[in-house]
Amino acid sequence: MNTGALLIIAMVLDAAMGEPIWLWQRLPHPAVLMGRVVGWLDMTLNSGTGRKAKGIVALLLLIIIGYLIGQVLAAFGPVVEIVTAAVLLAQRSLVQHVQKVADGLRMSVQQGRRDVAMIVSRDTATMEGSAVARSAIESAAENLSDGVIAPAFWFLIGGLPGLLVYKFVNTADSMIGYRTPRHEQFGWASARMDDLLNLVPARLTALLIALPAGVIAQWQMIRSDAAQHKSPNAGWPEAAMARAIDVALAGPRTYDGITQEFAWVHSSGSRNIGPVEIDAAITRLWHAWAVMLGVAFLLCLLTS
């Protein structure tokens, strides 16, 4: 069974079943285990002098660990490969988290704030309804890239070892890739590697959103909006999503009590938004997922 066929089954399994909560109540989730490895390396290596060099060593160890685990699991055959890939994809869980924000916002702004606080790091306590919706939509677009398309892409490129390497690097970036006094040097290598590994998937995600939405003709404007984002990659899916559902994203937001001014993405789009627009974004998540499934099917045919 080729990699394309394995990915098709894994994507469908993830979309149909989502996260088996009953299992993760009894066993640690693979992402949790990866986080423990990253945390151990942080505590063990991130001290004294030469922290950037130590961070490079930590990154190399994570890549080796991910590759070796992938090789071992792949040796057990296609069933293990499919189940592992399905567990490490996040389409169903992403949709569920974003849908919860829409449902909460329909109840009250306060409930919407509580629900969106589970998926974003910005301050949510005083958000208006439109800011809640924007936050949910931005998270949906970015996590479609990080949690679905990028893992699928690296699985197609490198099989289970490629997928595990990506997930280890992405986990490291989310834990130590911040420009804080503790992690600016130590997390530098992981953050840069994560940028590199997401370079193609982020743009591919934007394409997968734009194509079924019929806004591919606006690609140059999507590209221009993406360039305004502080991340070299996250702006792409957000810019495509903004135009796919015709809303303005980004803009001012607050972190740790400090308001930061961000440029509006698709500034002419609607700014007075709510659960209806979140529902529209969820539809686009499924459309992009379906196109990616079609890409895997095509590759399966070409390599069979």
pLDDT digits 0-9 by tens, 210-252? 999 999 999 999 999 999 888 899 999 999 999 999 999 988 8
The gap from C-alpha 145 to its chain's centroid, in whole angstroms, comes to: 5
Q: Alpha helix locations (H) across 117-234?
A: 129-144, 150-176, 188-197, 199-213, 219-226
pLDDT digits 0-9 by tens, 59-89? 999 999 999 999 999 999 999 999 999 999 9
298: CB partners within 8 A, 6+ apart = 4
pLDDT digits 0-9 by tens, 160-200? 999 999 999 999 999 999 889 999 999 999 999 999 999 99
Whether 123 has a pLDDT exceeding 90, the answer reads no
pLDDT band at 279 (very low <50, low <70, confident <90, very high): very high
SS3 125: coil
Q: Among residues 254, 189, 154, 258, which one has the least CA distance to residue 42?
A: 189
Region of residue 192 (phi > 0: left; psi between -120 and 50: alpha; otherwise: beta): alpha
pLDDT digits 0-9 by tens, 261-275? 788 999 999 999 999
Average model confidence (pLDDT) across the chain: 94
Average pLDDT rounded to a whole number, residues 279-294:
98
pLDDT digits 0-9 by tens, 250-259? 888 877 777 7
